[in-house]
Amino acid sequence: MSLPAPVRPLLVLDLDETLWHGVRVPGGLKLSLRPHLAEFLTAVSTAYDLAIWTAATEDWMLEGLAGVQAATGFDLRERAFFLWHRERCTFRRDAEGQFAFFKPARKFKARWIRGRYPPERILVVDDRAENYACSYGHLVRVSEWCGEEGDDELQRLAPYLLSIAAEPNLRTLEKRGWRLKG
């Protein structure tokens, strides 16, 4: 008898310097999308459900996601299991004593989430490891992107994420060397 297939995993995406780089300009947001973003979203959504967790404000998030849809046709606002912004973060001192936003992954244990996605089936993609200081097990760290041309992080990340999607426990899987495995 074969084992039941694991539930479809949830991929929680950071936005700023992970999927895009945005600058506030008079009248709105000047958004640059990370190279290969459209292919990345299309590829990973075949194996993962998606969600957003950003430390930015709700307005910034929604404006940026509208820009992603306009440029790629991919509507994360419609597809995301949740859209979490600054108000879902905590604001406290970091290791250097400076106040900063953190993303407390204990929030994944909420009944409405864990009933569908147990914690071992949730990954986060973020350029700031400090955001998940209490829960590195979920993290796939990407490099910070500030608009450099020729960046291939998302192009390399997609096949890696697809290669591990069926792992029963994504939390305990060693992910720090992902660039060597993708």
Q: Which residues bind Mg ion (CB under 5 A)?
A: 14, 16-18, 127
Which one, 65 or 118, has the nearer CB to Mg ion? 65
Is residue 176 classed exposed, middle or buried when 0-12, 13-18 and 19+ CB atoms within 10 A define those classes?
exposed
CA distance 125 to 161: 10
Nearest-approach distance from CB 142 to Mg ion, in angstroms: 9
Query: H or E segment at 41?
Result: helix 37-44
Nearest-approach distance from CB 122 to Mg ion, in angstroms: 18
Which one, 34 or 118, has the nearer CB to Mg ion? 34
DSSP letter (8 states) at residue 46: T
Beta carbons of 163 and 45 less than 8 angstroms apart: no
Which one, 118 or 139, has the nearer CB to Mg ion? 139
Question: What length is written for the chain?
Answer: 182
Which one, 120 or 144, has the nearer CB to Mg ion? 144
Nearest-approach distance from CB 116 to Mg ion, in angstroms: 25
Nearest-approach distance from CB 18 to Mg ion, in angstroms: 5
Residue 73 burial (CB count, 10 A): 10
